[in-house]
Chain A
Amino acid sequence: MRKQRLKLNLCVAAALVIFYFAVDFGIKQGMITPFQQINLVLIGVNIILAVSLNLITGFTGQLALGHAGFMAIGAYVAGVMTVKLGQPFLLALLAGACAAGFMGILLGAPTLRLKGDYLAIATLGFAEIVRGVLINIDYVGGAAGLIGIPQLCTWFWLFVWTVLTVVLIKNFINSTHGRACIAVRENEIAAEAMGVNTTLYKVMAFAIGAFFAGVAGAIYAHYFYVIQPNTFGLMKSFDVLVIAVFGGLGSITGSIIAAIFVTVATAALQDLSVLRMVIYASLLIIVMILRPQGLMGTKEATFDLFFRKRGESHGSAQSKQSV
């Protein structure tokens, strides 16, 4: 069994490396147009955002509507680091991510004892505070935004951080701590009775999610030159939530598939701007009514799912938890 897992992991790693070099070659040869490159970046950013939100909302069951706030903190801290302080990209990215993670702890520790709707509204309020404060700080450009950020995020960094996010969060979920988080989602009181420190795990999930939202923000800032407070408004938080919900709350592969699908669809329907949002919103309602668990539910798209009959040698941990 373990040998099989190792083999599978090696196969995935090899496929990823091949994919990386293929795209790298494509960019260098000019086969991938700048428009497609932008969408590659957006896909990466959306995957990071959706997977990290999924850790909070999907796996730990805490509805957070403030993901854009953490993204904004990551983007602005990283942007200030490179533009104003002249630091290298990696350091700036880590600083942004840590700042976002720290804010996650700061916000999460007092608010995570709130239930469902109240937490949603508190996190939504937090994101609005971040946006409002950024508008009022002239040092970072106020409402006009921070401009002149160098485009330091290459395909290499994008790829590395996207893969790193997915792998780290997946491993976290499959660890003892991840199990505890899932227990909190399934039944908080029962989890507490079994000795799970629910507050600790909720804050932990929140901090990790915020950290990676910060990573996404830093990548976004260092690809698009400009960041504005209004980019990180409520709409952005909703966007991420839509992706996570479409993919299935509690499914990492679902989030990845949905992030790719939604980003590509957004690019394809760009000319429809408002109509596109109408379609999204209707889809959101229809999905919630007809398939509230989203595309994948809490299952993962594993190789077993496609090539073997389900249920016999399911290596994935997620399939067992959805009883």
Chain B
Amino acid sequence: MTEFIQQILNGISLGSIYALIALGYTMVYGIVQLINFAHGEILMVGTFAAFFAITAYNANFVLAILIAMAASVILGVLIERIAYKPLRKSSRLAVLITAIGASLLLQNGGLLVFGADFQAFPRIIQNHQFKFFGGEVSVTSYQLLIFSVTLVMAIFLQYVVMKTKAGKAMRAVSWDKDAASLMGINVDTTISITFAIGSAFAAVAGVLLGLYYNTLYPLMGFMPGLKAFIAAVLGGIGLIPGAFAGGFLLGIVEALVSGYWSSAWRDPFVFAILILILIVKPSGLLGKDEREKV
């Protein structure tokens, strides 16, 4: 039983990171209907920015996260403006291929600039271990940090999207771009804001990921990015609560599969769940089925 609780706790902390990435993913998907494959690479660049801020300029944790967010936001908006915006009117296939291109470009650009080696992410804040049940179940302060940051940011995002003017604009644009622009909403700006918020979330997730695993490398973003997309699909793409729930669910499933079965079967298992969900309920666990319109 204690092992089970431990696995769930590990799953929740990994799931928090997935949820954080998935929130950005799902926002971008919701507004432009594009799987932004480069999302994981935006995360990677943000993490490296934080890494350099800490190692070269002795930045503290909060400053490092802010720098990471700034780097990711600039990159995310640049990608949107350069690679995706010219294609807004073309086929979705073309945009998706461009997204793959952007992802490959950043991955290999990262390999070129940062080198292929794994680097140790500095343990900039102390990691304490809290033990329960006679030491059989433990929670680290990193895990608590990750969970609380994700929770706060998800609530913040929900507030921004539901209560602010910018959020209202986002929802309008995701519903109908043309109608939104007729209502006086600047569609381009709104899309850029969405990319900026999504990228900032990715940066935070990246720093937490680097801190949690104590490592960073240029390909670090791809798999978590892909997993986060799965999480978003799992919960219902385009929905903030869906991405949140999907992330946690995915993290817990991964932890249980690695804990009770074998970590080598983790990825095939997760992808099998993805395909199953897509077949059974493509709109996701929290999504509503929409009728196809001609």
Measuring CB to CB, which residues of chain A are less than 8 angstroms from any residue of chain B? 57, 61, 63, 110-111, 114, 116-118, 120-122, 124-126, 128-129, 132-133, 135-136, 189, 238, 241, 245, 249, 274-275, 277-278, 280-282, 284-285, 288-289, 292
Whether B271 contacts A292 by the Cβ 8 Å rule is: no
Give the Cβ gap from A205 to chain B, nearest Cβ, in Å: 15
A20 to B64, CA, bound (A): 62
Q: CB-CB < 8 A to A61: which residues of B? A: 93
Of the candidates B94, B101, B271, which one forms a contact with A281 in the assembled complex, judged by CB atoms under 8 Å apart?
Answer: B101
Query: Are the C-beta atoms of A121 and B112 separated by less than 8 Å?
Result: no
Q: Which 9 A-B pairs have the closest CB atoms?
A: A132-B268, A284-B101, A281-B105, A281-B104, A125-B271, A277-B108, A285-B101, A292-B94, A288-B98
Cross-chain contact A189 with B294 (CB below 8 angstroms): yes
A274–B116 Cα gap in the complex (Å)?
10
Contact with A along B228-247 (1 / 0, CB 8 A): 01100100000000000000
CA distance A275 to B112 in the complex (A): 7
Residues of B within 8 A of A116 (CB): 92-93, 96
Which residues from chain A contact B103 at a C-beta distance below 8 Å? 281
Residue of A nearest to B268 (CB): A132
A28 to chain B, nearest CB (A): 40
Q: Which of B109, B229, B271 contacts A126 (CB 8 A)?
A: B271
Whether B104 lies near A238 (C-beta < 8 A) is yes
Name the one of B95, B108, B262, B272 contacting A278, with C-beta atoms under 8 angstroms: B108
Taking a contact as CB atoms under 8 Å apart, the answer to whether B102 and A281 are in contact is: yes
Q: How far is the CA of A133 from the CA of B262 in the complex (A)?
A: 12
B35 within 8 A of A: yes
Q: Which residues of B contact A (CB under 8 A)?
A: 33-35, 83, 86-87, 90-98, 100-105, 107-109, 111-112, 116, 226, 229-230, 233, 262, 264-265, 267-268, 271-272, 274-275, 278-279, 282, 294
| A285-B105 in contact given A116-B92, A132-B268, A292-B91 (Cβ < 8 Å) | yes
Which of B35, B86, B108, B264 lies in contact with A136, CB distance below 8 A?
B264
Q: Find chain A residues with CB under 8 A from B105 CB.
A: 278, 281-282, 284-285
A-B contact pairs, 21 of them (CB 8 A): A114-B282, A121-B230, A121-B278, A122-B279, A125-B272, A126-B275, A129-B268, A129-B271, A136-B262, A238-B100, A241-B100, A245-B97, A278-B112, A281-B101, A281-B104, A282-B101, A289-B83, A289-B86, A292-B87, A292-B91, A292-B94
Residues of chain A within 8 A (CB-CB) of B226 are 124
B274 engages A121 (CB within 8 Å): yes
Known: A114-B282, A189-B294, A284-B104. A63 touches B93 (CB 8 A): yes
B294 (CB) vs chain A CBs: closest residue: A189
Contact residues of A: prevailing secondary structure: helix
Q: How many A-B residue pairs have CB under 8 A?
A: 114
Assess the A132–B83 pair: CB atoms within 8 A. no
From A239, which residue of chain B is reached at the shortest CB distance?
B104
**Distance in angstroms between the alpha carbons of A189 and B292 in the assembled complex:** 10
Partner of B271, one of A57, A128, A241: A128
Contact in complex: A241, B97 (CB < 8 Å): yes
Most buried by A among B92, B105, B112: B105
Is A128's CB under 8 angstroms from B268's CB?
Answer: yes
Q: Is there an interface contact between B278 and A111, defined as CB atoms closer than 8 Å?
A: yes
Known: A118-B282, A285-B83, A289-B86. 14 other contacts (CB 8 A): A63-B93, A121-B230, A121-B233, A121-B274, A125-B274, A126-B275, A132-B265, A132-B271, A238-B104, A274-B108, A280-B104, A281-B103, A284-B97, A289-B83
Which residues of the other chain, A, contact B233 by a CB distance below 8 angstroms?
118, 121
Contacts of A57 in B (CB 8 A): 93
When A129-B272, A189-B294, A284-B104 are in contact, do A274 and B35 touch as well, CB less than 8 Å? Answer: no
Residue of A nearest to B109 (CB): A278
Inside 8 A of B262's CB, which chain A residues have their CB? 136
> Across the interface, do A121 and B35 meet the contact criterion of CB distance under 8 Å?
yes
Q: Shortest Cβ distance from A90 into chain B, in angstroms?
A: 31
A277 and B104 contact, CB distance less than 8 A = yes
- Name the residue on A nearest B83 (C-beta): A285
Query: Of all chain B residues, which has the CB nearest A280?
Result: B104
A289/B87 contact (C-beta < 8 A), A277-B104, A278-B112, A281-B104 known: yes
Q: How far is the CB of B275 from chain A (nearest CB, A)?
A: 5
Residue from A132, A238, A285, A288 within 8 A of B267 (CB atoms): A132
Instruction: Give the complex CA separation of A114 and B233 in angstroms.
Output: 13
Structural contact, A128 and B97, CB atoms closer than 8 A: no
Give B100's nearest chain A residue, CB to CB: A238
